[in-house]
Amino acid sequence: MAFANYAALARLGLGLDSAGELARFSGSPESAAELRTYLRRCSGSRSPLLGAIELRGADGGITRFRCHGGLLQPAQGDTPARLLLRLSEGSDERFAALTQKVRDLDDEVRRRRRTQALLEEALRDRDVLMRELHHRVKNNIHMLAGMLSAARRETVAPEAAMVLDEATRRLAAVGAVHQMLYLKDNLRGVHGDEFVTRIATMIMEGAGAREQLSVAAEPIEIPNDAAVPLALVLNELLANALKHAARADGTCGRVYLGFAEVDAAIELSVEDEGPGFDPLIQTSRRASGLGLVRGLTRQIGGSFSVGPGRTGGARCVVRFHDRRETVAAAGTLQQ
């Protein structure tokens, strides 16, 4: 041993001027013989060789080292070969394992990124298909509405005309929803303020009472699965308000439409300035309309109530929750 760095000297308990045969630090005669054999192999090889040796440290303990041995200068005459040995303790294997773990994690990240890219592509394809579906449904609804309008023009029976008008109005409400879903970048739902304003305006304009409508709506997102039922509910409530909300002098009173979040629930309200009514005593026409409202409200997991309004008329309220948030909350609790 001609030279050792500070780390080797400290590990073996040697001074700066220490020299001698490295084999004397071996843990046993067998390990000393293995060390000499390893050094001879290194002296005869042009490439570094990997090996393992056992040496006694300054504390007297035996440590097994991983060793990389390379030839610096071959033997010449009486001058022995000069070798360079790089020793690393077995604990360095932990760093090798850590390095391998990092490589494995990098591979996993790459795999997940590829999977994410595929999922994003599939999501884009799904969005395109959904838009195309909404577009086709909207076109089919417009075609059906046109057929009903043609039948309405040909009918002479008042009762049949009323039924056709109601069916046309309901189809128009559903068509408006699909039009909004088709035009929106977000296919998860529609903004509540735009939703109720557009549908209510369409219905009131069709009845020639646009100026009587007052809207107060918040931009709460309405989920897709609730959009069509809610559009039909709004259509029925506004139709009832227009039919039964006449003032005492026969003129049509104002209709107040509200859409807001109240006590963690989404609330849709329609209030008129008519004489009001007892929900238990209704005409068959009103009863059928409110029956449809109740059925549609149950479909979206909500509740429906009728009470007196601020001006003495009727106030109809539909309350429901965003079921996406309910499902997400349930999943969190299960976790």
Digit-by-digit pLDDT tens for the chain (335 residues) are: 667 777 777 777 765 555 566 767 777 888 888 888 888 888 888 788 888 888 877 777 887 788 888 888 787 777 777 888 888 775 555 556 777 788 889 899 999 999 999 999 988 887 788 778 877 887 887 788 788 888 888 888 888 888 888 888 888 888 888 888 777 766 677 889 999 999 999 988 888 888 889 999 999 999 888 989 999 999 999 988 888 766 666 667 889 999 999 988 999 999 988 776 655 545 445 556 788 899 999 999 999 999 888 877 889 999 999 876 654 444 444 45
Q: What is the pLDDT of residue 23?
A: 66
Contacts of 142 by beta carbon, 8 Å cutoff, 6+ apart: 175
Q: What is the pLDDT of residue 216?
A: 94
Per this entry, what is the length of the chain?
335
The first and second tokens of residue 242, run together, are 């227009």
The first and second tokens of residue 276, run together, are 């009001």
Closest CA to 11 of 80, 85, 73, 69: 85
- Does 188-335 match 6-90 at the fold level? no
Identify the H or E element spanning 73.
Answer: strand 62-73
- Contact (CB, 8 A) for 268 and 195: no
Q: What is the pLDDT of residue 15?
A: 59
b/e per residue 10-27 (b: at least 16 CB within 10 A): ebbebeeeeeeebbebbb
d(CA 216, CA 227): 18
**CB neighbour class for 28 (10 Å; exposed up to 12, middle 13-18, buried from 19):** exposed
d(CA 226, CA 310): 28
- H helices within 155-271, ranges in order? 158-183, 192-206, 224-244
Domain range summary for the chain, segments of one domain joined by +: 6-90, 188-335
d(CA 155, CA 47): 101
The first and second tokens of residue 200, run together, are 């209510």
Q: What is the pLDDT of residue 19?
A: 56
Q: What is the pLDDT of residue 328?
A: 47
- Please state which CATH class domain 188-335 belongs to: alpha beta
> Which residue is it, tokens 């795999």?
111
| Rounded-to-10 torsion of CA 174, 178, 179, 182 | 180
Fold assignment, 6-90: Beta-Lactamase (3.30.450)
Q: What is the pLDDT of residue 113?
A: 93
Q: Within 10 Å of residue 189's Cβ, how many Cβ atoms?
A: 20
Closest CA to 43 of 71, 22, 77: 71
